[in-house]
Amino acid sequence: MALREEFESQGRWLFRYRGIIPILILLIEAIVYLKTRLSPGFEETPYVFYYEALCLLISLFGLFIRVYTVGHTPRNTSGRNTAEGQVADVLNSTGIYSTVRHPLYLGNFFMWLGPAMLTGQFWFVIAFCLFYWVYYERIMFAEEEFLRSKFGNVYTDWAAKTPAFFPTFGNFVKPNLPFSWKKVLKKEKNGLLAVFLVFSLFDVAGKLITHRSDFNYFLIAGVSITLLSYVVLKYLKYRTHVLDEQGR
């Protein structure tokens, strides 16, 4: 198999199991985080609290990128993979897509980077970045092969002036569609819950393993509120048409 076809095949396989691999990464991050907490030189100071808040803000920034991206896109775009194959009715090239070709994966990077930084281990953050690069490089390659074959010169002309991962804002074009909160609530309802759940579990586990009970109740409250919101939005999505919007 030629390298081009091999990369595309690997990308499709990795995307198919994108729900499992992040869980494995989170388990590794949790182990490293707990080992840091148990290390002899570790001492929880106010600086640790501020550092953990910074990690949370980085993850929320990643979620913001995803929300902004999804809120301005129409239905069936971005080369979304499905069980039947990839789907893209039109090519996104305005809004954030005029600054970077893969904004959703850029958002994912920051969402994952927060917990990786939470471990407090510089070597692990570097290892995470290298893993993310290899992991998503294959997925992006597979998606771009599909978009290239479907949209031809329209895709290659856009890709030639738009970076894959590191945004450039010189060619920003106003989004074609207005921002849709309905689409965001329908498509990204689990993102905020996931962020607060991961940070809360890390905090609780870290406190319990060091025999402490001063849990971060802001994170616990965040989990409670976002979990309730998730259940309500899940009901609205599958039992009503409140979140439906034509073309979105």
Question: In which element (H, E) is residue 35 found?
Answer: helix 21-38
Q: What are phi and psi of 81, to 5 degrees?
A: -80, 140
Mean pLDDT in residue range 43-69:
93
Summary count for the chain: helices (H), strands (E): 9, 2
List the domain boundaries for the chain: 3-180
Mean pLDDT in residue range 36-54:
86
How much of the chain exceeds pLDDT 70, in percent?
A: 94
User: Is-contact 31 159, C-beta < 8 A?
Assistant: no
Cα separation, 193 vs 198, in Å, equals: 9
Question: In which element (H, E) is residue 80 found?
Answer: strand 80-82
Q: Lowest-pLDDT range, 70-79, 185-194, 228-237?
A: 70-79
Residue partners of 111: CB distance under 8 A and separation at least 6? 59, 62, 63, 66, 191, 194, 195
Q: 95 pairs with which residues across the strands?
A: 173
User: Is-contact 81 16, C-beta < 8 A?
Assistant: yes
Residue partners of 99: CB distance under 8 A and separation at least 6? 162, 163, 167, 168, 169, 171, 172
How many CB atoms sit inside 10 A of residue 35's CB?
Answer: 14
Dihedral sign from CA coordinates of 43, 46, 50, 56: positive
Instruction: Encode pLDDT of 102-150 as tens digits.
Output: 999 999 999 999 999 999 999 999 999 999 998 888 888 888 888 888 8
Cα separation, 230 vs 136, in Å, equals: 27
Residue partners of 131: CB distance under 8 A and separation at least 6? 25
Label residue 86 by pLDDT band (50, 70, 90). low
CA angle 107, 131, 149 (to 5 degrees): 65
User: Is-contact 150 90, C-beta < 8 A?
Assistant: no
Instruction: Encode pLDDT of 178-228 as tens digits.
Output: 999 999 999 898 999 999 999 999 999 999 999 888 899 999 999 999 999
- 85 has a pLDDT exceeding 70: no
The predicted model scores a pTM of 0.90
